[in-house]
């Protein structure tokens, strides 16, 4: 378990989250010009991945390796939640929403690589703060594992 501390919520507010994790490479425009509160979570509802690798592959530039690749999905790929409880209500952890990886990033926030097998859909969820002990992921990634990914 990582010893990193969560960032103070007053310092790392929703605006900062959107700018850090969603805005890089977004097709909709710079914050706050395009910002629209997400209907699910705390992020931006206008967010769309703008960096394409071709053949349906897209990159979320604001995310680390392992969390940044999206296949055919450019909307609702990155969702932000301010509490674990809100995330649990919206998605949960069950056979339909499987947290595959979890990672505590350098800002002290929990990144989850979620898979929905029924829809063959992957996405990334970001929960403010360190809730690593509450997320039942298949694997907890280390910084070394992320750096070793291509």
pLDDT in tens, 29-64: 777 778 888 887 788 887 787 777 777 778 888 888
> Does 25 fall in a domain?
yes
Q: Are 33 and 40 in contact (CB under 8 A)?
A: no
Average pLDDT estimate for 124-135: 94
Residue range 72-126, pLDDT digits in tens? 666 668 888 989 999 999 998 999 999 999 999 989 999 999 999 998 888 899 9
| Structural domain span for residue 118 | 14-148
Domain assignment present for residue 7? The answer is no
Q: Beginning with the edge strand found earlier in the chain, give each strand of the sheet holding 51-54 in spatial order.
A: 51-54, 57-59, 69-71
**Is the omega angle on the peptide bond into residue 32 within 30 degrees of 0, that is, cis?**
yes
Res 12: pLDDT: 62
Provide the domain count of the chain: 1
Residues 6 or more apart whose Cβ sits within 8 Å of residue 16: none
pLDDT at 29: 74
Instruction: Decide if 2 is inside a domain.
Output: no
């Amino acid at each position: 378990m990582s010893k990193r501390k969560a960032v103070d919520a007053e310092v790392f507010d929703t605006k900062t989250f959107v700018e850090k994790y969603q805005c890089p490479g977004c097709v909709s425009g710079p914050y706050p010009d395009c910002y629209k509160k997400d209907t699910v979570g705390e992020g931006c509802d206008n967010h769309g991945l703008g960096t394409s690798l071709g053949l349906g592959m897209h990159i979320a530039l604001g995310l680390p390796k392992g969390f940044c690749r999206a296949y055919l999905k450019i909307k609702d790929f990155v969702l932000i939640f301010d509490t674990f409880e809100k995330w649990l209500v919206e998605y949960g952890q069950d056979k339909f929403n499987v947290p595959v990886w979890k990672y505590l990033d350098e800002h002290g926030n929990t990144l989850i690589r979620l898979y929905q097998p029924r829809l063959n859909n992957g996405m990334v969820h970001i929960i403010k703060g360190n809730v690593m002990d509450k997320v039942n992921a298949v694997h907890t990634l280390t910084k070394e594992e992320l750096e070793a990914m291509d």
